[in-house]
Amino acid sequence: MTRARFASIRPTRGLIICLAGGVIGGATYRHFQTKGDLEDGDALNPQTFTPYTIVSKQPVSSTSSIFTLRCPDVDHGGAIQRQKESDQSLQEIWQRGVWSVQAKQPQLQIARSYTPLPPAPVEQEGDSNVTSSNGAQNHAPESQNQQPGDLRFLIRAEKNGEVSNYLHSLPLSSTVALRGPFPEFELPPDVREVIFIAGGTGIAPAMQVAHILARRPGTRIHILWNTRRKDEIQGGENDVPTGPPLKSDTRRKLSDWDPWSKISRWNAFGFGQNEKPSHTPARGTVKSAEVEKSVVVKELEALKKQFRRTPQGTDDRPGGLTTEYFADEDHKFVKPKDVARQMRRVAEEEEDFGQQSGTKLILISGPDGFIDLWAGKKAWIGGREVQGPLGGYFANFNVVSRGWKIWKL
């Protein structure tokens, strides 16, 4: 057995100089790299994280709140110019389609994407702070205190959500690192009809789309929002789809336009069992004054008013936003027949008034399981998330042949 012999290395003058130079060079690099990162982070951008401050936390339910985040004022170097460019970029993306930003959990060094809500509606006369059924205080929208670059998010504290629970644990004036914006879907310029199926906080992209369409004459969006807790949809009324009255001789039976009537797998998935019959208030029905509308319902109502203020292109083609609400706690779930009812309405109008040009979209947003149930799983190709094959309920019905396009958000 031989012993390995190691030659001793004596530190020469040249080696010491090289090591010292490396240490100094590394420290210099880290100094300037840190400085550069801070400067890059003075304004929201997709490459580096920018510090934002929590200026408001508005309770929606016992598990969810609307966070308002603000980028601190900066006045050094080119920071002001970068901030102006960032604000301009946000104004442009607000006009195009669905987008998100990433929030970072610094201890675990992980990030999660969140979809910003539209700017808070102007507070209406008569709005006040009230206490909801769960004891949380619902504050009227603080639109008077908004600044152009503020970002608002509807965030639910998920049971195993590292980032969402971290954000909910932060007090006001805390700093949150954001990166973005990241475009997810661009609305076609000629879009005329949108059916949006939203699950939980998936209502945020639906509100983004409604915010954009409210400025486009003659466009319509029907939102079907399925959430867990009934206090999140408190005071929300189911709307009769807008549009001109249909001729009685052209009405079709709903079963003819419900492609899932015989093959629906809803009960097979364990949903909708023992469901109570839903009630749609008649047009013009006034709800009891004792029922206070939730924060999100109020904002959806404000979006409806934005549509009504938009000049319409034609008398027989009014634009508008309509809503339907479903809560798991009430044993009410959005079903394929609810979507088919809206598709049937559009088809009947096309038959009565002629096919109108423009894109018809069905958008789906929510938890992964919710999207899978309706349209199948997304896929990962080349490190990027893509739409994947159409599955779920919509795999049983060729919606493309009926002129509809589907997109999973």
Binding site as annotated, residues: 154, 163-164
At 332, phi and psi to the nearest 5?
A: -120, 130
- For residues 197 and 225, give the distance between their C-alpha atoms in angstroms, rounded to a whole number: 6
Instruction: Residue 55: name the closest of 145, 122, 116 by CA.
Output: 145
Instruction: Residue 117: name the closest of 191, 41, 56 by CA.
Output: 56
What is the three-class DSSP state of 26?
helix
Six token digits for residue 186: 């661009």
Q: What are the residues facing 58 on neighbouring strands? A: 66
Q: Which residues of 94-120 are buried (b: 16+ CB within 10 A; e: fewer)?
A: beebbbbbbbbbeeeeebbebbbbbbb
- Could you tell me which residues are annotated as the binding site for FAD? 154, 163-164
- For residues 33 and 28, give the distance between their C-alpha atoms in angstroms, rounded to a whole number: 8
Other CB atoms closer than 10 Å to residue 33's CB: what's the count? Answer: 10
Instruction: Residue 336: name the closest of 405, 380, 399, 276 by CA.
Output: 399
What is the three-class DSSP state of 89?
helix
Amino acid in position 220: R
- For residues 120 and 151, give the distance between their C-alpha atoms in angstroms, rounded to a whole number: 10
Write the DSSP assignment of 120-183 as a string of letters.
PPPPPTT---EE-TTS-EEPPP-GGG--TT-EEEEEE--TT-HHHHHHHHPPTT-EEEEEEEEE
Six token digits for residue 153: 């998010």
Alpha helices for 236-290 (secondary structure H):
none
Instruction: Residue 202: name the closest of 156, 141, 266 by CA.
Output: 156
Question: Residue 24 belongs to what H/E stretch?
Answer: helix 13-40
Distances (CA, A) of 164 to 60, 103, 106, 158, 293: 15, 9, 13, 6, 25
